[in-house]
């Protein structure tokens, strides 16, 4: 009888061990860290040609650095909504940072942060990267003050919610650009022009 019990113990022991993960994954619940990692993941997914590194609380992509911040969290009956902010810095062109505030909406916290990260990477970071890579769409070019300076617009995709979600195909992605263009042309100042030797830094 004791032998039978012993045999059962030998047989059952591996099953009991298998039920316990060897290295349990403990998620980091700091929202700023979660959001930063979601942004890094979205970059890997949508802009896989970019090399992302972590430098303290920031993400670095070459000379571009991103600070990802999570603000207010609101729990609605069917969704979690985070107020999110991402600041992109580049020493020559925007040393003070390009600040984008957006909402992360999802079924739970991780889903909401991932949604915000996706929208930032596809809607804001991608045009920034294209601008730094000297890309542009000639059809969108326009001239500024006194027709002396020519500007290359880089447009992110039009993000829509609610009524427009089912009618996105009815919208013109360049509409707002054409709406603003005559007003912006008078406001734009000359941008810093790096010296030739700076191009190889």
Partner 1 sequence: MPNGEFIGDCLLDNEPWPAGLALLAQEAATWETAGQFAGQKQFFLFRQCGAAMVTPAKEVVG
Tokens representing 102 are 């957006």
The contact mask relative to partner 1 for 87-126 (x = CB under 8 A, - = no) is ---x-xx--xxxxxxx--------------------xx--
- Report the residue number, 12 or 143, with the smaller CB distance to partner 1: 143
Across the chain, which distance is largest between two alpha carbons, in Å? 101
Judge whether 129 and 52 are in contact, CB under 8 Å. no
In whole angstroms, the minimum distance from the beta carbon of 158 to partner 1 comes to 5
Distance in angstroms (rounded) separating the CA atoms of residues 101 and 120: 9
In whole angstroms, the minimum distance from the beta carbon of 28 to partner 1 comes to 24
Under rule CB under 8 A, which residues in 36-55 are in contact with partner 1? 48-51
In whole angstroms, the minimum distance from the beta carbon of 175 to partner 1 comes to 8
- Report the residue number, 18 or 163, with the smaller CB distance to partner 1: 163
Residue 116: burial class (beta carbons within 10 Å; 0-12, 13-18, 19+): buried
Q: Is 7 in the site for partner 1 (CB under 8 A)?
A: no
Of 106, 61, 109, 111, the residue nearest 86 (C-alpha): 61
Distance in angstroms (rounded) separating the CA atoms of residues 65 and 117: 15
Q: Name residue, tokens 């909402």.
A: 103
Tokens representing 47 are 């802009």
Q: Is 149 in the site for partner 1 (CB under 8 A)?
A: yes
| Binding residues for partner 1 (CB under 8 A) | 48-51, 61-64, 90, 92-93, 96-102, 123-124, 127-129, 131-134, 136, 141, 149-164, 171, 173, 176-177, 179-180, 183-184, 187-188, 190-194, 198-199, 201
């Amino acid at each position: 009888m004791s032998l039978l019990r012993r045999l059962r113990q030998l047989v059952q022991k591996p099953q009991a061990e298998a039920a316990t993960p060897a290295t349990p994954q403990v998620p980091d619940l700091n929202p700023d860290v979660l959001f930063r990692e979601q942004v890094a993941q979205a970059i890997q997914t949508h802009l896989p040609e970019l090399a992302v590194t972590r430098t303290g609380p920031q993400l670095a992509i070459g000379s571009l650095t991103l600070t990802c911040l999570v603000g207010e969290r609101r729990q609605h009956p069917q969704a979690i909504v985070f107020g999110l902010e991402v600041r992109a810095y580049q020493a020559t062109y925007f040393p003070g940072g390009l600040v984008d505030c957006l909402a992360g909406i999802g079924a739970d916290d991780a889903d909401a942060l991932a949604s915000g990260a996706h929208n930032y990477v596809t809607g804001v970071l991608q045009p920034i990267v294209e601008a730094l890579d000297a890309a542009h769409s000639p059809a969108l070019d326009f001239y500024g003050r006194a027709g002396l300076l020519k500007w290359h617009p880089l447009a992110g995709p039009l993000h829509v919610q609610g009524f427009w979600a089912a009618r996105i195909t009815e919208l013109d992605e360049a509409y707002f650009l054409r709406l603003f263009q005559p007003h912006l042309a008078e406001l734009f100042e000359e941008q810093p022009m790096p010296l030739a030797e700076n191009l190889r830094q």
